[in-house]
Amino acid sequence: MAEQPRLWIRHEVRATERRAPLVPQDARRLVELGFHLTVEESPQRVYPLDEYLAAGCQGAEAGSWTEAPEPAYVLGLKELPDLPDRLVHRHIFFGHAYKGQQGSRELLARFARGGGELLDLEYLVDDTGRRLAAFGYWAGYVGAALGVLQARGRLTAPLRPLAKSELDRQLRDSMRAGAPDALVIGALGRCGRGAVDALEVAGLAATCWDQAETRELDRAALLHHDLLVNTVLTTRPIPPFLRPADLPVADRRLSLVVDVTCDVTSDLNVLPVYRTVTDWSEPVRRLHQDPPLDLIAIDNLPSLLPAEASRAFSAELVAQLRTLADPAAPWRHCRADFRAACRHHELEAVHV
């Protein structure tokens, strides 16, 4: 049997990132197939290192991926630390670097200087373009839940990670505090389905829009809802759903926007009414005073349900990790998109 790839699961530098890209149970499956897995210590990861060691993985200090053997694939979720400025490994994570986001060229330049490679999980797709591993459902679920709790005056900060059963209890307990009229855009996708499910737990029947309803947007109907949950992640320019000109409209009912997508620094942002995301310590920000409009835009929502989100994502990802060594596997799409992005920025991308 051919030697299997080496995987190195890194510690996440973001303090509020509790998820794991691969849970211990699925790590064991790869070990049994001959993969060599190293897992870094991480004080906030929802699964402790001991569970990975029991699954047959090796342990390592947080941040030691920089010294990993160069053939290793470094697996994570969110952003890398600022150093080193030369990335020599193949990294698997959500890079957010292909749509003109802030800092995207700088990140790609680090790979080009070191001869490394970014296999962006957002672009791990099959031949039809369908995402093969995503956190979308839980992002939508948590985003809509936070929106309901805020609309009903029940959201408290700072936010903390919890189990789905506790979040659902909060939603049910909040029912007596009112029934905001909610609109979910992108309701047919994974993220949208999660948002609709959370609203149902909260006792709300959402208005559901998708491509058919947004092809010719009824802006007056959009502004007539109390709560907007945006779950649309687009790869091509489309007319924005909410514009700066909509904020001072006197008869606007819309008072809360939850942007699950958080494509805020991209030219493809469908909600160009804000420039910076919110976070766990201050999850809600006032966008406009009269009439009032508040924003929730947290870019790691699934980390608030870290166990459920990690298990679901890992179950999808482990099947794809098994194919890393196969040149015909869907990872080829990630490689092609990485090289295209480097060419766009006039960077040479050659993995050594």
Q: Where are the beta strands (DSSP E) in 170-320?
A: 182-185, 207-209, 227-230, 256-259, 285-288, 293-296
The model's pLDDT over 96-134, given as tens digits with 9 standing for 90+, comes to 999 888 899 999 999 999 999 999 999 999 999 999 999
Q: Is the preceding peptide bond at 158 cis, omega within 30 degrees of 0?
A: yes
pLDDT at residue number 349: 57
Res. 2: pLDDT tops 80: no
Query: In which band, very low, low, confident or very high, does the pLDDT at 236 lie, cut at 50, 70 and 90?
Result: confident
pLDDT at residue number 64: 98
The model's pLDDT over 258-299, given as tens digits with 9 standing for 90+, comes to 999 998 888 889 999 999 999 999 999 999 999 999 999 999
Which of 66-80, 137-151, 190-204, 229-243 is least confident? 229-243
Which whole number is the average pLDDT over 181-203? 97
Q: Which residue has the tokens 């009439």?
A: 291
Pick from 86, 88, 93, 89: which is nearest to 110 by CA?
A: 86
Catalytic option among 91, 96, 225, 288: 96
pLDDT at residue number 340: 95
Which whole number is the average pLDDT over 31-46? 97
The model's pLDDT over 82-92, given as tens digits with 9 standing for 90+, comes to 999 999 999 99
Query: In which band, very low, low, confident or very high, does the pLDDT at 248 lie, cut at 50, 70 and 90?
Result: very high
d(CA 68, CA 296): 38
210, 232 contact by CB (below 8 A): no
Pick from 262, 330, 251: which is nearest to 291 by CA?
A: 251
Catalytic option among 36, 78, 164, 224: 78
Which whole number is the average pLDDT over 234-260? 94
pLDDT at residue number 352: 40
Which whole number is the average pLDDT over 191-211? 97
Say which DSSP state 3 is in.
Answer: P
pLDDT at residue number 265: 81
pLDDT at residue number 207: 98
**Is 78 designated active site?**
yes
pLDDT at residue number 237: 85
Burial 203-213 (b: 16+ CB within 10 A, else e): ebebbbbbeeb
Whole-structure pTM value? 0.92
**Is 96 designated active site?**
yes
184, 209 contact by CB (below 8 A): yes
Pick from 328, 267, 275, 330: which is nearest to 297 by CA?
A: 275
> How far does Cα 153 stand from its chain's mean position?
26
What is the number of other CB atoms lying within 10 angstroms of the CB of residue 344?
13
